[in-house]
Homo-oligomer: A and B are copies of this chain.
Amino acid sequence: MRLTILGCYSATPRTLNNTTSQVLEINNHMFLIDCGEGTQVQLRKHKLKFNRIKYIFISHLHGDHFFGLVGLISTFRLLTREADLHIYGPKGIKEAITLQLKLSDSWTNYKLYFHELTSTKSELIFEDNKVEVHTIPLDHRIYTNGYLFKEKAGERKLNIDAVNEANIDVAYYRKLKQGFDVKNEDGVLIDNKTVTFPAENPKSYAFCSDTKYKEDIVPVIKNVSVLYHESTFLEKHAHYAEKTKHATAKQAATIAKLAHVKTLILGHYSTRYDDLSVFKNEAKTVFNKVKLARDGKVFNF
């Protein structure tokens, strides 16, 4: 997986601070997560190929996560896109986008599918043979979902020397990769584990922004490889977090610890803080493996 942070600040775009948007590359997919104003320029700036985006996931309809979407959709049209585009987001997203396309008489020449979300329970919203995407219901001022991206368990890998040695016909290779024991050309049953290597551990990524501290997301994101959790504030401003339904760095770290995630990435910072290292220090008092999102930063995992 490869995660590119296009923007990780809250509220409003500024000269040097972009609002929320990320690109997650996973098994040949390029998923776009949230789309604040200016996202299309950030995509260009980081030389990410627009055309590869086929699925967009919007957490909620606050402007700093959403106002760049209509522009991106329009730009796809101007670039004569033909591929379908699927958009997942809260109910209302279809009306907001289609009204603007109607007013500008600029209907897309590609197919645009809206998948509007209303459930407050985690649900599977996308699946192919390699990846699943689930919602993570969050608690913010308006209806909001995080998203959990999970690689499916892959196939076992052939130990080709051992396979040859065991005299197994090529017709059985598929079965071996799927973990079955098979008979060799002499009719002897071969233990799968003696001729294959284990599948790589499937990776997972949970995006949780925006939300107040919400412990009941823990079961949904349990053991993920990487958790991005918003930390709009520091503990000294916990009263602002409470009031605006955001989280502090320490609260994000507490969720990471409870969910036994491997790595926590902090983001969605209020621009009131000049020094981001304080977020990391605060989170580290609770959970050790903390990284800071920054606009343009790439995480490989």
Q: How far in angstroms is the closest Cβ of chain B from A116?
A: 12
Assess whether A170 is interfacial by the CB under 8 Å rule: no
Q: How far in angstroms is the closest Cβ of chain B from A45?
A: 5
The answer to whether A61 and B104 touch (CB under 8 A), given A38-B41, A41-B38, A99-B99, is yes
Contact residues, A5-62 vs B (CB, 8 A): 11-15, 37-38, 40-41, 44-45, 61-62
A155 to B67, CA, bound (A): 46
Assess whether A149 is interfacial by the CB under 8 Å rule: no
B104 in contact with A142 (CB, 8 Å): yes
Of B45, B74, B90, B141, the residue contacting A15 (CB under 8 A) is: B45
Q: How far in angstroms is the closest Cβ of chain B from A246?
A: 14
Assess whether A70 is interfacial by the CB under 8 Å rule: yes
Assess whether A78 is interfacial by the CB under 8 Å rule: yes
Assess whether A68 is interfacial by the CB under 8 Å rule: yes
Q: How far in angstroms is the closest Cβ of chain B from A37?
A: 4
Assess whether A63 is interfacial by the CB under 8 Å rule: yes
B141 in contact with A105 (CB, 8 Å): yes
Q: How many copies does the complex hold?
A: 2
In the assembled complex, which residues on chain B have CB atoms less than 8 Å from the CB atom of A11?
75, 78
In the assembled complex, which residues on chain B have CB atoms less than 8 Å from the CB atom of A171?
none
The answer to whether A70 and B67 touch (CB under 8 A), given A11-B78, A15-B45, is yes
Of B75, B78, B96, the residue contacting A100 (CB under 8 A) is: B96
A-B contact pairs, 24 of them (CB 8 A): A11-B75, A12-B40, A12-B74, A12-B78, A13-B38, A13-B40, A13-B71, A15-B45, A37-B68, A37-B71, A38-B38, A62-B104, A62-B106, A63-B71, A63-B100, A63-B106, A66-B104, A67-B100, A95-B99, A95-B103, A103-B142, A104-B142, A105-B141, A105-B142
A95 to B75, CA, bound (A): 22
Q: Chain B: which residue is nearest A38 at the CB level?
A: B38
Known: A12-B74, A92-B103, A95-B99. 18 other contacts (CB 8 A): A11-B75, A12-B71, A13-B40, A13-B71, A15-B44, A15-B45, A37-B71, A38-B41, A61-B104, A63-B70, A63-B100, A63-B104, A63-B106, A66-B104, A67-B67, A67-B74, A67-B100, A90-B103
